[in-house]
Structure formats: structure tokens, C-alpha cells
Amino acid sequence: MKITTRRSFFNYMALLGLVTFSATPLHAKGPKEAFKYQESPKDGKKCSDCIHFIAQSNECKVVRGSISPEGWCTLYNQK
């Protein structure tokens, strides 16, 4: 694509930004190690009480892998 004017350049960059944004997930899951995930509760706090926990599949919205309902990580946020 040949860009001949300043306006064309900025229009092209805006379009490129939208295409890139739409192809990128809004959130990505991180590894258990990054969030200090553990298989046991901490101070009475556990995954089954967290807003990120998906009980039907034992998954988390932000931590990768299978998650124990009795687990805990630094992203814990009570429902």
C-alpha cells in the first residue's frame, strides 16, 4: 500500500491498530507459578470462593490449567 499523504498515513495506522486489537485476546491466562498457585487454601481463602473460579470445569479465568476448588493464588478475589 502506497501512502502519499499524512492523512493517509494516520488513517492506515488507525486501521492497523484496530486490526491488531481485534486479533488480540482481551485477557490471557498466566502460568500457576506466576501467581504462586497452591493446591491448599491460605488463611481460609480458596478458589471455590473466588470470582475467577469456574466450578463447572475446575478452571480459572486468569490462571492456566486445572484448578482445585481448595486451591489458592495471589489473584484471589472473594465473590
What was the pLDDT predicted at 37? 97
Calculate the CA 39 to chain-centre distance: 20
Q: What is the pLDDT of residues 37-57, one digit of tens each?
A: 999 999 999 999 999 999 999
- Helix (H), strand (E) at residue 54: strand 53-54
CA distances from 25 to 14, 29, 77 (A): 19, 10, 22
In 3-state terms, what secondary structure has residue 35? helix
| 23, pLDDT greater than 70 | no
Beta bridge partners of 59: 54
What was the pLDDT predicted at 45? 97
pTM across the whole model: 0.65
What was the pLDDT predicted at 79? 82
What was the pLDDT predicted at 46? 97
Q: What is the pLDDT of residues 2-13, one digit of tens each?
A: 657 888 887 777
